[in-house]
């Protein structure tokens, strides 16, 4: 850590990701005997829940954005379009040195707005989602061993507070990698938004016969439990990439269908061999 350490954080959006971050950071600081103050904001909290959330890593539940001027780091942890709205709302309370990061699943749209508003902003995407939601499902180990995308220009990435933020993510076991926003959205249309759509589509396509399903379909179906509330924002902010990826994958399936119909088993065998190899790679990575 540098001299300009991050000691006070505000998290806006207290769902699975926001509260898991709070719990993970508090636990890591406590283990090192360091002090950290985290305040949390969430418009959707009823009064009775405001007390309970204080057991989830927060030092204070807050509703007045003017206190944001006092913190080192602001984390936007709601769905992306809500994060964009919040960013516009809080801009006037931020000091020029305040670092703002988000935890949304798409990066180009929010980074465009941050640039327009001239906010000191780092786009982040922790690859640690779940079909489960809400602070009750939060977990301080959610980020351990998980990749986390970091989007920012090179100049910013050299600044002390940004380095401190990356160190904060490493402190809780996450594995940051730097990527530009456009590439991020292209890649995640493939490795995240496509699996979600496949899961939803296949469970609906097989609706009549779910009582006969084995573990294969069951694993495939897990993501179909995901909330539209989160995904509507992802589709709205990564529309073209997702449409392109779905169309290309649809073509791939049509081509496999043609091969099977024609009895062209060499092509299918090749697809299986590659599948086996890629599965091994994926397993090696997750078992590290």
Site for a copy of itself in 88-117 (CB under 8 A): none
Contact between 134 and a copy of itself (CB under 8 A)? no
Q: Could you give the residue ranges of the DSSP H alpha helices within 146-227?
A: 154-157, 160-171, 181-188, 194-205, 215-221
Grouping H, G, I as helix, E, B as strand and the rest as coil, residue 256 is helix
Rounded Cα–Cα distance for residues 61 and 50 (Å): 7
Residues touching a copy of itself, count (CB under 8 A): 89
Choosing from 128, 152, 168, 169, the residue that interacts with a copy of itself (CB under 8 A) is 128
Contact between 207 and a copy of itself (CB under 8 A)? yes
Q: Nearer to a copy of itself by C-beta: 93 or 147? A: 147
Q: Nearer to a copy of itself by C-beta: 85 or 252? A: 252
Contact between 278 and a copy of itself (CB under 8 A)? yes
Q: Interface residues for a copy of itself in 28-57 (CB under 8 A)?
A: none
Q: Interface residues for a copy of itself in 143-162 (CB under 8 A)?
A: 146-147, 149
**Do 61 and 53 touch, CB atoms closer than 8 A?**
yes
Question: With CB under 8 A as the contact rule, which of the stretches 51-59, 111-119, 151-159, 226-234 interacts with a copy of itself?
Answer: 226-234
SS3 content of the chain, % helix, strand, coil (to 5): 60, 10, 30
**Do 203 and 210 touch, CB atoms closer than 8 A?**
yes
**Do 90 and 65 touch, CB atoms closer than 8 A?**
yes
**Do 74 and 99 touch, CB atoms closer than 8 A?**
yes
Q: Nearer to a copy of itself by C-beta: 118 or 266? A: 266
Contact between 133 and a copy of itself (CB under 8 A)? no
Q: Interface residues for a copy of itself in 171-200 (CB under 8 A)?
A: 177, 187-188, 190-192, 194-200
Instruction: For residue 264, give every residue at least 6 positions away whose Cβ sits within 8 Å of its Cβ, in sequence order, or none.
Output: 258
What is the pattern of x (binds a copy of itself, CB under 8 A) and - over residues 229-258?
--xx--xx--xx-xxx-xxxxxxxxx-xxx
Question: With CB under 8 A as the contact rule, which of the stretches 31-39, 96-104, 115-123, 128-136 interacts with a copy of itself?
Answer: 128-136
Rounded Cα–Cα distance for residues 115 and 46 (Å): 33
CB of 30 to a copy of itself, least distance (A): 27
Rounded Cα–Cα distance for residues 272 and 281 (Å): 14
């Amino acid at each position: 850590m540098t001299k300009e350490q991050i000691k006070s954080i505000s998290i806006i959006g207290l769902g699975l990701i926001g509260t898991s971050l709070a719990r993970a950071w508090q636990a890591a600081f406590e283990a090192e005997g360091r002090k950290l103050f985290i305040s949390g904001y969430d418009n959707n909290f009823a009064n009775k829940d405001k007390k309970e959330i204080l057991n989830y890593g927060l030092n204070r539940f807050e509703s007045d954005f003017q206190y944001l001027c006092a913190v080192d780091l602001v984390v936007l942890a709601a769905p992306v379009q809500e994060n964009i709205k919040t960013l516009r709302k809080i801009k006037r309370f931020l000091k020029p040195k305040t670092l703002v990061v988000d935890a949304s699943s798409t990066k180009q749209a929010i980074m465009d707005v941050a640039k327009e508003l001239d906010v000191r902003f780092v786009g982040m995407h922790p690859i640690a989602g779940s079909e489960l939601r809400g602070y009750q499902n939060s977990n301080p180990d959610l980020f351990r061993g998980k990749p986390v995308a970091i989007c920012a220009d090179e100049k910013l990435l050299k600044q002390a507070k940004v380095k401190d933020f990356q160190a904060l993510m490493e402190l809780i076991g996450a594995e940051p990698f730097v990527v530009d926003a456009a590439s991020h959205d292209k890649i995640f249309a493939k490795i995240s938004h496509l699996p979600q759509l496949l899961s939803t589509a296949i469970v609906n396509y097989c609706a009549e016969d779910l009582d006969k399903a084995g573990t294969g379909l069951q694993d495939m179906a897990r993501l179909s439990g995901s909330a539209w509330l989160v995904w509507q924002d992802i589709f709205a902010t990564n529309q073209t990439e997702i449409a392109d990826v779905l169309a290309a994958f649809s073509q791939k399936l049509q081509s496999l269908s043609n091969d099977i119909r024609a009895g062209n088993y060499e092509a299918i065998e090749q697809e299986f061999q590659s599948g086996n190899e890629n599965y091994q790679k994926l397993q090696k990575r997750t078992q590290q």
